[in-house]
Chains A and B, each alone.
Chain A
């Protein structure tokens, strides 16, 4: 035991110089040396997660996470962040070849991606449910009520597979119509070609808002067909870079849990209420240094993009046209599944 403690102490002593514990070939060092973070964007848009505003600026949950990461690394994302448009098919090769440093692109954590593609996933930052929407006039209250009807889904996606499994295992007989293109799928549903429209919940919410016959004419059924956990993705051989991603997400939740927002972060930094918050905001050293970052990285991040609730509300929640409830994506204290890790 003594030997072990001794070893640990020597280890700590060796690790004391800043950045010393980050592997030399880590993407973290590459990014810090380059002075810009290259984050994944879209070739087009993905509603609520990556959109382009009237002036050609990116916005959305994924984009805000990119900004948070850049702000944490460099103090501000201004001038230090490049959103590189990549297509779905291109995101993994682009990450491996170094065209982008990190994939934040609503990408689900699947076994084949995790193992065969040599990718590392951070803790999920969003849980996407596959749900069904149905015309209110049908009076359906669950997917089981659509037995004998027809369902529309996107062809060749995980949604289609999950729907087939769900129908089979619940003994529901429904005809599944598939469509290649998301717009085509949505129009088919609104033209009345199917009784149920199966999609990722945020997309359903977006479609419902714009329903030609009004949002009230459509109900999103509560049954969850399947869940997809969206994480931040880095190459598998880079634990230091993965640590930064995990602690970034945890910091956003920590700030939310402790009521630290972009508005009051300065006040709280001036009068921290606990030693954990003191450490978190960089008043006392350690929180950044262990990751190879500056100690006030979390402060810079919160100052620029706010905590997780602010990011959510601004882009897909109550403060946005989508008005998607937090649901399972809330903190554990509000009935969700997310919680910050311990800051010691």
Chain B
């Protein structure tokens, strides 16, 4: 007679029983689940109803929009060029679009591990940035010059973001190293500078660089308003990022640097091969955080009269025909920000997995 073997699979809970165990274990839990699910479904349904079922699509459907109850996506299809390109001359907007693509490609490429190399990465960024600038500015091969005054929309936002990161990151490394200098007066001065800038609001720094500096600096040093703001913003970014990097450096066991010294490595080798790579690995989550914040805060430049993606969004709805469709434009701008910020943070999560930050 064969012995009965207990059937193991029977113990595994069926999907239904796990659902019951997790969400309906007691009458109270069941009620809470039901209420929350109803509210969530109702919210989703209303959003879907507004955004799709009762929405008006197609270009120039102003009359239909005024009559409709749902969203008016017609404003986006009629005015999307203003949101993306701002005041860039209409016939030349392909250049602005192409420049955005180039910038996007550079950002995407620099995410690939093959480019993580002290020679390839700077080369990629410098080439990408130069292409972006030349395309936007023009003035060669018969492309008409478009001055920075007329740059706008998404390409301006990307330009400011990229320029701040390119300038700010090396500056941040310098600041962090200076702050850790063995000479007290250098370390203290740097600490004072960093803390001073960190205790000022970004808006006031931008305002100072855009508006106050021209009164103070000699004319040849003033430069275009856009570049002054970028320099100010990069300084602000560098101060925060320097503290993040310093945190990453201080998390390293002292033995790492001492061992490098014992091996006879010079200062730059120690910093470049031992300290910074590990510090960056430690500081990766807050660095991604800082980059995301930097991207989002570019919209502060509207205050000093730049036509970034937020301002051009307002210009897109700010006309007699479309003044009622403000929400739709804001949703569109929010989507643009979402696409960028969400990819940035997902990329950060991928990096953390890859570098195994959690375990070390």
Which A residues form the contact surface with B (CB < 8 A)?
A: 42-48, 51-58, 82-87, 89-90, 93-94, 96-99, 183, 206-207, 209-210, 212, 320-322
Question: Which chain B residues (299-324) contact chain A, with CB distance < 8 Å?
Answer: 302-307, 311-312, 314-316, 318-321, 323-324
On chain B, the residues within 8 Å of A84 by CB distance are: 149, 305
Give A322 Cβ to nearest chain B Cβ, in Å: 6
Using A54-B81, A54-B82, A93-B211 as known contacts, say yes or no to A43 and B311 having CB atoms under 8 A apart: yes
- Give A270 to B98 CA distance when docked, in angstroms: 51
Question: Main SS of the interface on chain B?
Answer: helix
Question: Which chain B residues (309-347) contact chain A, with CB distance < 8 Å?
Answer: 311-312, 314-316, 318-321, 323-324, 326
The yes or no answer to B210 lying at the interface (CB within 8 A) is: yes
- Give A56 to B89 CA distance when docked, in angstroms: 7
9 A–B contacts from the bound complex (CB under 8 Å):
A47-B319, A52-B315, A56-B85, A56-B88, A89-B303, A90-B211, A97-B211, A212-B66, A322-B320
The yes or no answer to B220 lying at the interface (CB within 8 A) is: no
On chain A, the residues within 8 Å of B93 by CB distance are: 56
On chain B, the residues within 8 Å of A47 by CB distance are: 318-320, 323
Using A54-B78, A56-B82 as known contacts, say yes or no to A45 and B315 having CB atoms under 8 A apart: yes
- Give A90 to B304 CA distance when docked, in angstroms: 6
- Give A47 to B319 CA distance when docked, in angstroms: 6
The yes or no answer to B268 lying at the interface (CB within 8 A) is: no
- Give A40 to B154 CA distance when docked, in angstroms: 22
B320 touches A52 (CB 8 A): no
Among candidates B81, B214, B225, residue contacting A56 with C-beta atoms closer than 8 Å? B81
B85 touches A206 (CB 8 A): no
B318 touches A97 (CB 8 A): no
On chain A, the residues within 8 Å of B320 by CB distance are: 47-48, 51, 206, 209, 320-322
Give A103 Cβ to nearest chain B Cβ, in Å: 12
- Give A209 to B326 CA distance when docked, in angstroms: 15
- Give A206 to B318 CA distance when docked, in angstroms: 11
Among candidates B207, B302, B303, B319, residue contacting A52 with C-beta atoms closer than 8 Å? B319
On chain A, the residues within 8 Å of B90 by CB distance are: 55-57
Q: Which among B86, B88, B147, B315 has the highest number of chain A CB atoms within 10 Å?
A: B315
Give B209 Cβ to nearest chain A Cβ, in Å: 12
On chain A, the residues within 8 Å of B16 by CB distance are: none
- Give A161 to B315 CA distance when docked, in angstroms: 27
On chain B, the residues within 8 Å of A56 by CB distance are: 81-82, 85-90, 93
A90 touches B318 (CB 8 A): no
Give B185 Cβ to nearest chain A Cβ, in Å: 36
B89 touches A44 (CB 8 A): no
Give A235 Cβ to nearest chain B Cβ, in Å: 13
Give B255 Cβ to nearest chain A Cβ, in Å: 53
On chain B, the residues within 8 Å of A93 by CB distance are: 211-212
The yes or no answer to B215 lying at the interface (CB within 8 A) is: yes
A87 touches B302 (CB 8 A): yes
Give B331 Cβ to nearest chain A Cβ, in Å: 13
- Give A83 to B324 CA distance when docked, in angstroms: 26
Q: Which among B89, B211, B326 has the highest number of chain A CB atoms within 10 Å?
A: B211
- Give A322 to B88 CA distance when docked, in angstroms: 27
On chain A, the residues within 8 Å of B81 by CB distance are: 54-56
- Give A225 to B198 CA distance when docked, in angstroms: 45
The yes or no answer to B79 lying at the interface (CB within 8 A) is: yes
Give A85 Cβ to nearest chain B Cβ, in Å: 5
Nearest CB in chain B to that of A210: its residue: B324
B319 touches A45 (CB 8 A): yes
Question: Which chain B residues (215-237) contact chain A, with CB distance < 8 Å?
Answer: 215, 225
B318 touches A45 (CB 8 A): yes
- Give A285 to B14 CA distance when docked, in angstroms: 98
Nearest CB in chain A to that of B59: its residue: A54
7 further A-B contacts with Cβ under 8 Å, apart from A52-B315, A90-B210, are A44-B315, A51-B315, A52-B312, A56-B85, A56-B86, A85-B306, A210-B323
On chain A, the residues within 8 Å of B225 by CB distance are: 99
B305 touches A86 (CB 8 A): yes
Nearest CB in chain A to that of B212: its residue: A93
Give B334 Cβ to nearest chain A Cβ, in Å: 15
Q: Which among A58, A84, A85, A183 has the highest number of chain B CB atoms within 10 Å?
A: A85
Using A45-B314, A206-B320 as known contacts, say yes or no to A87 and B305 having CB atoms under 8 A apart: yes
On chain A, the residues within 8 Å of B304 by CB distance are: 87, 90
On chain B, the residues within 8 Å of A209 by CB distance are: 320
B318 touches A51 (CB 8 A): yes
A44 touches B311 (CB 8 A): yes
Among candidates B78, B211, B318, residue contacting A94 with C-beta atoms closer than 8 Å? B211
Give B359 Cβ to nearest chain A Cβ, in Å: 48
- Give A83 to B305 CA distance when docked, in angstroms: 12
B305 touches A90 (CB 8 A): yes
Q: Which among A51, A52, A82 has the highest number of chain B CB atoms within 10 Å?
A: A52
A183 touches B326 (CB 8 A): yes
**Contact mask for chain B residues 77-118; partner A; CB cutoff 8 A; 1 contact, 0 none:** 011011001111110010000000000000000000000000
- Give A89 to B324 CA distance when docked, in angstroms: 26
B314 touches A44 (CB 8 A): yes
- Give A55 to B323 CA distance when docked, in angstroms: 17
Among candidates A85, A86, A96, A320, residue contacting B87 with C-beta atoms closer than 8 Å? A85
Nearest CB in chain A to that of B308: its residue: A43
